[in-house]
Amino acid sequence: MKEKGQYFNEAVETMERGDLDELVDERIRYTVNYAAKHSPFYKKWFSEHGINPKDIRTHENLLELPIISGETIRSNQPPEVSDFLFKSVGWEDVYTIHETSGTSGTPKSFFLTWNDWQRYAEKYSRIFISQGFGRGDRVVVCASYGMNVGANTMTTAANEIGMTIIPEGKCTFPVRVIRSYQPTGIVGSVFKLLRLANRMSKEQLDPKKSSIERLVVGGESFAEESRQYLSEVWGCDVYNTYGSTEGTMCGECSELNGLHVPEDFVHMDIYDPIKGEFVPDGECGRVVLTTLLSEGAKSGTLLLNYDTEDTTVVLTRGRCECGRTHMKITSPQREAETFWITGTPFNKVDVERGVFQRENMEYLTGEYEAFLYGGDDEGETTLRVSMECNDFEKCDQDTVSENFLRAFFQFKPGLAQSHAEETFKIIFNFTGPDELELYRVKGRPKRLVDRR
């Protein structure tokens, strides 16, 4: 059990860079050898590409290998083939089976051994402790306990730390839960936590005066402006985490300036698909990950050079002020939430930044949705942004619109030019509470939808 403010695995988390790189290379060799022996997919993959697994000895060697994708996984499992070719243990060693959401086709299947769960749990244990959690903390988890691994991983991690988990699964739990159990933290999305704060206020429980000491936002990318507003509403720090069923669990430490990557468990490279090459630190690209196993470990599903289709930037590999040496990245953004207009990309986060300008929040709830219409071949593209007002009659629509445009175009000069030339138009729609389209959609709503 660890006391607050310490490390979960200090020897590894504070390891000197040279020693950490050596550990990574050692685990790359074991993992590649494990894949060649136990994974039906990789046995065939090595042969088809003329790769001798024994030649893969360092992380630099990984850069020479082909990249696989989610489609590669789907095409090597039922119904495309008769068996799950990425499964790398016998059924007697499979502890749980998980699937991705399947938003872009057949869900990808993942098989986890108990060994996998122990690694996943340690990643989250490190994150929790780096954020100030420890023994005696009580944390409400507002994440699904179904086929998604996140909630179960946090719950398993809590046992290693001495934390108590309140497994609500959703943020619609009664306010009495906070009054009765006095939780010190909540894990949820920006919007779930804002709605919860609103419900608490209506029931005469000021979020700032509640027992909550810190919030953790995971599962989606978000604008720094929405984080700052959420922090203001709750009167506490808001930490960012990033995770996936594939095993990429990264989290912000107490410094709140980048997410630490557990480099001894997962190796991460950054790839530019347009250039067709890996890029140096400081340049934006897709997260390409490789599972890392220690000597003697087993894995139900392991991945080498897997393109997550999420984009990020490596900020530093130096020692953080918190003492950790594992590299830090910017908050990854889902490429599925990135769209192009007249040669310029923009993401859901760019729209969110415009919505959450501080002056706007005097009038808005923060709930929004945006739709793209038209197309470049028609000579004009329109972005329609709908924002929910606290009080429709009192909302200063001109001020909100001006603030949005200024923030949206701040880092998008190409779109600003297209807007000036009227080939790209932005129109605003303001609604009262509960009038956005997303309230009529089942499941997780898409904030930015391309209807071109």
CATH for 1-331?
3.40.50.12780
Q: What is the Cα–Cα distance from 154 to 166, expressed in whole angstroms?
A: 11
Q: What is the mean pLDDT of residues 351-375?
A: 95
Residues 335 and 300: their CA atoms lie apart, in Å, by 27
Owner of token pair 């060697």 = 61
Any alpha helices (H) in 222-268, and if so which ranges? 224-234
Partners of residue 96 on adjacent β-strands: 112
Q: Which 3 state secondary structure label does DSSP give 224? A: helix
Question: Taking the alpha carbons of 30, 100, 82, 49 in that order, is the dihedral positive or negative?
Answer: negative
Higher pLDDT, 378 or 310: 310
pLDDT at 1 over 90: no
> For the residues 12-39, what does the mean pLDDT come to?
97
pLDDT of 23 higher than 70: yes
121 phi and psi angles, rounded to 5 deg: -65, -40
Q: Strands of 277-278's sheet, edge to edge?
A: 277-278, 266-272, 285-291, 306-312, 333-334
pLDDT score, position 452: 85
**Residue 143 · residue 189 · CB < 8 Å:** no
Q: With 60 as the cut, is the pLDDT of residue 102 above it?
A: no
* 258 bridge partner residues: none
CB atoms within 10 A of CB 349: 21
At residue 442 the predicted structure's pLDDT band, cuts being 50, 70 and 90, is confident
- The token pair at 163 is 């934390």
DSSP 280-338: -TTS-EEEEEEE---TT---SB--SSEEEEEEE-EEE-S--TTS--S-EEPPPEEGGGE
Class of domain 337-450: alpha beta
Per-residue model confidence as pLDDT tens digits over 156-182: 999 999 999 999 999 999 999 999 999
Q: What is the pLDDT of residue 2?
A: 40
pLDDT digit string (tens) for 303-325? 999 999 999 999 999 999 999 99
Spatial CA neighbour of 401 closest among 426, 370, 372, 368: 426
Given a cut of 60, is residue 339 above it in pLDDT? yes
Between residues 248 and 209, which one has the greater pLDDT? 209
Rg, Å, the chain Cα set? 23
Read off the pLDDT of each residue in 228-251 and give the average, rounded to a whole number. 94
Q: How confident is the model at residue 5 (pLDDT cuts 50, 70, 90)?
A: low
Rounded to two decimals, what is the model's pTM? 0.92
Share of the chain above pLDDT 90, in %: 85
Residue 104's pLDDT band (cuts 50, 70, 90):
low
CA angle 264, 270, 275 (to 5 degrees): 155
The tens digit of pLDDT for each residue in 203-226 reads: 999 999 999 999 999 877 899 999
Domain ranges of the chain: 1-331, 337-450
pLDDT interval class at 3 (50, 70, 90): very low
